[in-house]
Structure 1
Amino acid sequence: MTAGTVPDEVMAKFAGARLWACHQAPYLASAVFALTPALLEPSTDPDTGAWVPDPALAAFPANTAWVVHVDPATVLANPVERTGWWLLHQVGHLVRGHAARSPVRPALGSTGPTHAMGFEGQRDSAAHRWNQAADAEINDDLETEGLTGPDGVVSPRELGLPDNRTAEEYLSLLDVLDDALVRGGTSLSDAVDCGSAADGIERPWDRAGGGGLSELEREMLERSLAAGIQERATARSDVPGGWVRWAEARFRPRIDWRAQVGSLIRKGLAETSGRVDFSYRRPSRRAAAYGDFVTPAMTRPVPETALVLDTSGSVTAPVLERLVGEVTGIIDKVSGPGRRLRVLCCDTKAHPVQEIRKAAELRLVGGGGTDMRAGIEAAMQLRPAPDLVLVMTDGQTPWPERRPPAKVLVCLIGDDGQAPDWAARVRIPADVEEKER
């Protein structure tokens, strides 16, 4: 085989995989053909010069412009069916918007494309877990079609998890399952890297392959795909339930914002409680070994949370009270019952802090203009300083130019407001309905 014929063979095999994928899931054919392949430089054996598959590219990682990155050695080593399975899998990440929904954010101060993964083998644990949860959302539908994934991908059925859940729900379930497995001496398998299509964080190879699809082209593709799935479902053609629900939600979006808020709060508090430090308030049990010296023990801090509440008048009091009730309930589940939540009502200025255990204790004050900068600044002046700041606002406000020292989660009420790039965000409907009991 000459070097000149190898790319032709690679692309011919990739084309075969694309046709296989369309035959297995014809309702996704337009999406599969919309993927733009980008042929990457192959890795070579240092001794023989032969091409070797790159493990980092085993999943044919895609980016949010619908460019799928193709490692030539991986294509040649894989059967057509496996490559086709990965194409269907990547379409799932892209169409279901996992990058936009991801709670993972670039690390503070990161400017390059390598902050999500060291790309020497150690990937960020939060990105790992979100990738696994997003995989679970996709793979139960593929399993419905009889398409079993390769080793290393999360299978809800094999793990004993329920089908037809969102990635946000699977994220919580996988956390609980992994804790149980670790106590038993095992753990979940390491997640494969599905690329920025799964978490929105740029990879080194994302700059290869050109522009892919524009935002307008992606919007038109998704609408066409959703309409086609709905037509098939109406005609009683076989379409997995997850895709039918996605098509319905595509025209009538119904994002489970409670699951998103819970996931992001859990992530922020877990990262904080995972930090440890030395403290002399509890001497080390090994202090006697050091004679007259008293040595400190390692401590795990209790995460501090503060809520900045937009009371400028653009959001009604009943909605705010109901949302605060939801958030206090979530924090109770994450941090334990009875924890106090510090709340700062804010219009153009921050009002005195209130410490509450439940929403009924909150007194809403304010009603002027809106400037969440004042509320966030006041939250950072609290002592002890918060580890996580929640901001509930309609987004019609100026924001600090720089990321505060604490993690910030912005709950945007309604459809019009915006949050800064450095904050995690969840959009909440303005007409919040009371949660069913």
Structure 2
Amino acid sequence: MTADRPPAPAFEEAVGARIAAARLWAVHQAPYLASAVFALKPVILEPALDEDTGEPVADPDFRAFPADTRWNLYVEPGTVLATPVEEVGWWMLHQVGHLVRGHAARSPVRPEAGQEMSHAAGAVRDEEAHRWNQAADAEINDDLEAEDLRGPAGVVSPKELGLPANRTAEEYVPMLDVLAQAMGRGGRALAEAIDCGGAVDGQVRAYEDDGSGDGLTRLDQELLERSIAAGIQDRISTRSEVPSGWRRWAEDRLLPSVNWRARLGAMIRRGVSTVAGQVDFSHRRPSRRAGAYIDIVPPSMVRAVPDTVLVIDTSGSVTNDVLNRLLAEVTGIIEGVAGPNRRLRAFCCDVHPHPVQVVRRAGDIKLVGGGGTDMRAAIAAAMALRPRPDLVIVLTDGETPWPEQRPAAHVVLCLIGDGGHAPAWASVARVPADPPRRVPAKGES
């Protein structure tokens, strides 16, 4: 299926009318997404015609009305004419969800440069991409179900699968893996292989090759997202109903920026004070009441100095310059809380953890590694250290899987850049990958 030429004129009017009706239906069902629905740009593909009747034939590969990251909605004439208006409108809201929630940027799928993913559901697809598509669908469909908008047959439904509500795609991935394995042993499939297009994983499909849909620029998308978030907040302030997933997205989208250094410092100090608040008896310093005893030296209460381990993601997606800058920030904070010249254990990790380094300064840490990343291995390695750390500080861009269970130690996560994700059990401070340079003061060189 290509977009080399427009559909036959006989179908254009009917296709346009069906899309217009679907837009109005979608806007009526979710008015807080009206501007997003109208921002979708339909790109009409060449129809597949029946050899005998000349009528357009529906193509099941386009049943989801796939979109790309430029907000182009790819419409196959036979499919749209064979699909009820309400279902077309449902898919419009679904694709808006992928685009506004930034699923393409959050996708763990990273094919090699120039690799093109197959569009056909029957073709061999990367399993990671397929599962991410389903998990992203679950995140969106959960909110559509909250509006009593049930999806078409075959789509992933958290409610029908018995999955918890109000979770992110990153949280749904491991849940769907477990369900798929269990259902596979019974000879059943978790859900149909539906491809939502580049909007879900950022990869270019074959039907986009002609470049006919210019779509929205990044600035246009930024302004549109802010407008949608502000509209949702306005509805919330008037006590109008908005699904919880869209509420959280709007709050995060309009959250004012904070001083990341102050937040990072507060997170580390809070972690240090949490474990340092544990006290115990020690004979290393006699009790002030020792004079009241004969032949007995009672212990005194002491506050433990937390054992801190620093984990550095050296997978290659974060530059050494950024890591060195953050290492100086982090070790400076630790020194201010726990005291100067204190030894610190640190280790680098990509797919596997590297040997532990015992250092006194950030400059003593040697950054080693490269390639992929798996912070599950890093957290497991930190918990296996003896003595086991009280506090674990992780420097990463978050493009990695995380342990499902909360580790025994308190974890502070320095999430570098705008992408990536963090586990629910970690204290998170998001830091810029490339902060703006400081303007020299007058008299400075």
- Determine if the alignment matches structure 1 residue 317 to structure 2 residue 334: no
Question: Residue 379 of structure 1 aligns to which amino acid in structure 2?
Answer: G
TM-score, structure 1 normalization: 0.64
Is 2:148 the counterpart of 1:146? Answer: yes
Partner of 1:201: 203
Deviation digits for residues 378-405 of structure 1, max 9, x if unmatched? 536xxxxx8756697578xxxxxxxxxx
Q: Tell which structure's C-alpha radius of gyration is larger.
A: 2
1:235 has 2:235 as partner: no
What code does the residue aligned with 2:172 have?
Y
2:58 to 48, 53, 60: 53
Whether the 8 Å contact between 2:47 and 2:57 is mirrored in structure 1 is: yes
Q: Give per-residue Cα distances to partners, 1:261-305, cap 9 Å, x unaligned.
A: xxxxxxxxxxxxxxxxxxxxxxxxxxxxxxxxxxxxxxxxxxxxx
Unaligned runs of 5+ in 1: 255-305, 322-341, 347-351, 356-361, 381-385, 396-407, 419-424
**Counterpart position of 1:433:** 427
Change (3 A) 1:364 1:170: farther
1:67-101 Cα shifts (integer Å, max 9, x gaps)? 10011111110111010000000000011111111
Q: 1 CA distance for matches of 2:81 and 2:361? A: 65
Matches within 5 A, 1:188-227: 188-207=190-209, 208-227=211-230
Alignment of 1:391-410 (within 5 A): none
Contact 2:8 2:47 survives alignment (8 Å):
no
- Equivalent residue for 1:343? 347
Q: Is residue 311–residue 365 contact of structure 1 (8 Å, CA) maintained in 2?
A: no
**TM-aligned CA deviation for residue 177 of structure 1:** 1.3
Counterpart among 25, 40, 45 of residue 45 in structure 2: 40
Letter in 2 for 1:40: L
Q: Which residue of 2 aligns with 1:19?
A: 24
Question: How far 1:56 sits from its partner (Å)?
Answer: 1.5
C-alpha deviations, 1:288-347, integer Å up to 9, x for none? xxxxxxxxxxxxxxxxxx9539456434139899xxxxxxxxxxxxxxxxxxxx93499x
Query: Structure 2 CA distance, aligned partners of 1:172 and 1:345?
Result: 22
SS of residue paired to 1:174: helix
Distance in 2 (CA, whole Å) between partners of 1:23 and 1:104 is: 34
Counterpart amino acid of 2:37?
A: V
Matches within 5 A, 1:169-184: 169-184=171-186
Secondary structure, aligned partner of 1:69: strand
The alpha-carbon deviation at position 353 of structure 1 amounts to 4.6
Alpha-carbon RMSD across the aligned residues, in angstroms, is: 3.8
Is 1:95–1:222's contact at 8 Å kept on the other side of the alignment? yes
Q: Which residue of 2 aligns with 1:111?
A: 114
CA distance in 1 between counterparts of 2:198 and 2:14 reads 27
Is contact 1:21–1:87 with CA below 8 Å preserved after alignment?
A: yes
Q: Note the C-alpha offset of 1:118.
A: 6.4
Q: Is the 8 A contact 2:331 2:361 kept in 1?
A: no
1:100–1:116: structure 2 CA closer, same or farther, 3 Å change rule? Answer: farther
- Quick one: distance in 2 between partners of 1:410 and 1:166? 14
**SS of equivalent to 1:37:** strand
Secondary structure of the corresponding residue to residue 427 of structure 2: coil
- Residues of 2 paired with 1:86 and 1:345: CA distance? 41
In structure 2, do the counterparts of structure 1 residues 4 and 101 end up closer, same or farther at CA, with 3 Å as the change threshold?
Answer: same
Equivalent pairs counted in the alignment come to 320
Question: What is the rounded CA distance, in whole Å, between the counterparts of 1:251 and 1:121 in structure 2?
Answer: 40
Counterparts of 1:15 and 1:434, CA distance in 2: 44
Structure 1 position 180, deviation (Å): 1.8
Structure 2 CA distance for aligned equivalents of residues 253 and 191 of structure 1: 39
One-letter identity of the residue aligned with 1:166:
T
State the secondary structure of the residue aligned to 1:222.
helix
TM-score with structure 2 setting the length: 0.63
What is the match of residue 124 of structure 1? 126
CA separation in 1, counterparts of 2:181 and 2:251?
35
Q: How does 1:264-343 map to 2 (within 5 A)?
A: 308=314, 310=323, 313-317=327-331, 343=347
Alignment partners' CA distance in 1, 2:174 and 2:359: 32
**Displacement, 1:42?**
1.3
- Which AA in structure 2 matches 1:239? V
Shift of 1:410: 11
Q: C-alpha separation between the residues in 2 aligned to 1:83 and 1:434?
A: 39
Preserved CA contact (<8 Å) 1:311 1:366: no
Could you tell me how far apart the structure 2 residues matched to 1:87 and 1:213 are?
16
Structure 1 distance, partners of 2:16, 2:223, is 27
Distance 1:128 1:100 in 2: 16
Distance 1:146 1:394, change over 3 A: closer
Give the counterpart letter for 1:33 in structure 2.
Answer: F
Q: Does the CA contact (< 8 Å) of 1:117 and 1:124 recur in 2? A: no
Q: Quick one: which of 56, 65, 72 aligns to 2:77?
A: 72
Give the partner amino acid of 1:316.
V
Separation in 1, partners of 2:36, 2:188: 38
> Are the aligned partners of 1:129 and 1:191 in contact in 2 as well (CA < 8 Å)?
no
Shift in Å at residue 240 of structure 1?
1.2
In the other structure, the counterpart of 1:336 is none
Alignment partners' CA distance in 1, 2:147 and 2:331: 48
Secondary structure of 2:207's counterpart equals helix
**Secondary structure of the equivalent of 1:44?**
coil
Distance 2:428 2:251 in 1: 22
1:379 alignment partner in structure 2: 369
What stretches of structure 2 of length at least 5 have no aligned partner? 1-6, 258-311, 315-319, 336-345, 379-393, 403-412, 430-445
Instruction: Report the AA paired with residue 168 of structure 1.
Output: E
> In 2, are the aligned partners of 1:195 and 1:203 still within 8 Å (CA)?
yes
Three-state SS of the structure 2 residue aligned to 1:368 is: helix
Amino acid of the structure 2 residue aligned with 1:235? T
- Once the 2 structures are TM-superposed, how far is the Cα of residue 139 of structure 1 from its aligned partner? 0.5
